[in-house]
């Protein structure tokens, strides 16, 4: 880190998502996803499934291990009330040969949050994950240093958010960025198995200057989470993006700088970045954030990048209720584009809105993940609360338990196809629930046209 953090901050470009940009957020034909209905089958009926990410190679392409692709998801037992799932989140992996049918391989770490809460803890030390539960992350299959074409030589790095601390009895919301590395992947005709032991390490904690610590937070929901591995194709630089908040110690003094009223500055979301000068996926140094939404929004969730036609598309998820007062946004995928990793980023479609739910089903999907597919971008997410008929998320918590369960999807949502043109995007169509094709695979024509057109029928 720079000796003088304040001057480091001034030297760098920190792009901003301003209030005036966000004030232009409106649903449009280009940004609207179709209504989602429950799938014929959940990816795994025994568990709620939400935030999901793909196992990727160092260059960001989707990893294929002997013909299998792998996803990781936050999960919790299906009989648990959906609103409680974050408290016991456990990372499970699923594998597939065709990107449509996924088989659950089980919890990825030896000791899951569920086992721990059931009191079956047998291990100690750093072979068990940090945190009382594990939140979102990313997964790297690193063949660097291995023998080319020999899958056995790849090394797994499973980045996650350590939420709370291992042995806490009352849940806390401390968040640190962690990794589990060293597991093995084995395959045969029947499937794929990931096994430990993993070596767990805390990689990064907030420094209090660039990145707010929990005790500095005045905001509604504190964040320092969702590590996402990224190698810059232009420079080869190895990076980790994450969701954070920017400290604003004196809102009265800083309101001009952010062009916002002092009380808006309690909403101070940012997209953080750390670099690994040696390329070692476990050695990170914090830098200034690449994007701030100070005065605009509190949670810039699961930030990640897609490089398309030499441009850097930065995507993140955010909620209706995390916009600062005076702004109206949606539960949606937001995006920004720049010519290089550190920006300057401009909001896509002027306001930043890329993909949202229909007004009649505003919470039907959340936690989007974009990846390139030839000229398009595909966007996966999870099926969240539906059939709410005007109820807010707060209202849901007051419904009888079985009604809360009935209205929660807890599985993968239909994948959405996006077309990208410079600073503009538009929804092109949808694929099936949980269909995650590789770029070399064709998209099904049945679902290729959105709202009619030549491609064959409506969704
Ligand atoms: C987004 C999110 C992530 C976090 C996870 C916790 O859906 O808030 O930022 O890691 O959910 O369940």
225 lines ligand 1 (CB under 6 A): yes
Token pair for 85:
């799932």
* Token digits of residue 200: 């767990």
Q: How far apart are CA 108 and CA 112, in angstroms?
A: 8
Element (H, E) at 10: helix 5-11
pTM over 0.85: yes
Domain boundaries, the chain: 13-433
Strands (E), 321-407: 332-338, 346-347, 353-356, 365-373, 376-385
Alpha helix stretches (DSSP H) within 158-197: none
Indicate whether residue 331 lines ligand 1 (CB < 6 A).
no
- From the CB of 345, is ligand 1 less than 6 Å away? no
* Residue whose CA lies nearest to ligand 1 atom number 3: 136
Whole-number Å distance, alpha carbon 153 to ligand 1 midpoint, is 31
Query: How many Å apart are CA 197 and CA 127, to the nearest integer?
Result: 6
Testing ligand 1's pocket by substitution, the residue of 135, 173, 410 carrying the most ligand atoms inside 8 A of its CB is 135
The residues, any chain, with a CB within 8 Å of residue 443's CB and separated by 6 or more, are 373, 417, 429, 431, 437
Which pair of structure tokens corresponds to residue 410?
């807890």
- b/e per residue 74-97 (b: at least 16 CB within 10 A): bbbebebebeebbebbbbbbbbbe
**pLDDT tens sequence for the chain (459 residues):** 445 555 555 556 799 999 999 999 999 999 999 999 999 999 999 999 999 999 999 999 999 999 999 999 999 999 999 999 999 999 999 999 999 999 999 999 976 666 666 554 444 457 899 999 999 999 999 987 544 455 456 899 999 999 999 889 999 999 999 999 999 999 999 999 999 999 999 999 999 999 999 999 987 899 999 999 999 999 999 999 999 999 999 999 999 999 999 999 999 999 999 999 999 999 999 999 999 999 999 999 999 999 999 999 999 999 999 999 999 999 999 999 999 999 999 999 999 999 999 999 999 999 999 999 999 999 999 999 999 999 998 899 999 999 999 999 999 999 999 999 999 999 999 999 999 999 999 998 755 445 443 333 333
Fold of 13-433: Tachylectin-2; Chain A (2.115.10)
How far apart CA 255 and CA 429 sit, in angstroms, is 42
For residue 136 and ligand 1, the question of a CB distance below 6 A is answered with: yes
Atom of ligand 1 at shortest distance to CA of 135?
A: 10
Residue 5 belongs to what H/E stretch?
helix 5-11
């Amino acid at each position: 880190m720079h000796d003088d953090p304040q001057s480091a901050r001034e030297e760098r470009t920190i792009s901003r998502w301003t209030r005036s940009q966000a004030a232009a957020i409106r649903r449009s034909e280009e940004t609207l996803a179709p209504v989602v209905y429950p799938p014929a089958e959940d990816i795994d009926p025994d568990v709620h499934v939400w935030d999901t990410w793909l196992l990727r190679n160092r260059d960001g392409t989707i990893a294929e291990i002997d013909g299998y692709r792998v996803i990781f998801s936050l999960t919790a037992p299906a009989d648990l009330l959906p609103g409680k799932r974050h408290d016991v989140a456990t990372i499970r992996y699923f594998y597939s040969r065709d990107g449509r049918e996924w088989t659950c391989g089980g919890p990825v770490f030896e000791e899951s949050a569920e086992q721990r809460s059931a009191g079956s803890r047998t291990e100690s030390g750093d072979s068990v994950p940090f945190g009382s539960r594990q939140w979102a992350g990313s997964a790297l299959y690193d063949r660097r240093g291995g023998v080319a074409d020999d899958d056995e030589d790849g090394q797994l790095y499973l980045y996650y958010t350590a939420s709370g601390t291992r042995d806490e009895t009352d849940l806390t919301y401390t968040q640190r960025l962690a990794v589990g590395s060293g597991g093995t992947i084995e395959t045969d005709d029947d499937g794929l198995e990931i096994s430990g032991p993993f070596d767990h390490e805390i990689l990064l904690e907030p420094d209090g200057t660039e990145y707010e610590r929990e005790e500095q937070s005045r905001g509604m929901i504190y964040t320092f989470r969702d590590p996402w591995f990224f190698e810059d194709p232009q420079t080869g630089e190895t990076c980790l993006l994450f969701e954070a908040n920017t400290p604003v110690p004196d809102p009265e003094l800083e309101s001009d700088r952010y062009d916002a009223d002092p009380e808006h500055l309690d909403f101070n979301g940012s997209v953080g970045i750390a670099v690994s000068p040696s390329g070692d996926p476990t050695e990170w140094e914090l830098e200034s954030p690449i994007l701030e939404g100070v005065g605009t929004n509190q949670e810039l969730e699961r930030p990640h990048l897609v490089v398309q036609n030499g441009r850097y598309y930065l995507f993140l998820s955010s909620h209706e209720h995390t916009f600062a007062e005076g702004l109206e946004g949606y539960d949606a995928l937001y995006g920004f584009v720049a010519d290089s990793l550190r920006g300057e980023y401009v909001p896509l479609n002027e306001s930043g809105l890329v993909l949202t739910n229909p007004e009649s089903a505003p919470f039907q999907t959340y936690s989007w993940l974009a990846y390139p597919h030839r000229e398009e971008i595909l966007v996966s997410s999870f099926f969240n609360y539906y059939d709410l008929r005007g109820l807010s998320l707060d209202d849901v918590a007051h419904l009888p338990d079985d009604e809360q369960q009935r209205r929660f999807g807890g599985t993968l949502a239909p994948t959405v196809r996006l077309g990208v043109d410079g600073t503009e995007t538009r929804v092109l169509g949808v694929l099936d629930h949980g269909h995650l094709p590789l770029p070399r695979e064709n998209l099904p024509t049945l679902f290729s046209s959105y709202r009619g057109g030549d491609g064959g029928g409506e969704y």
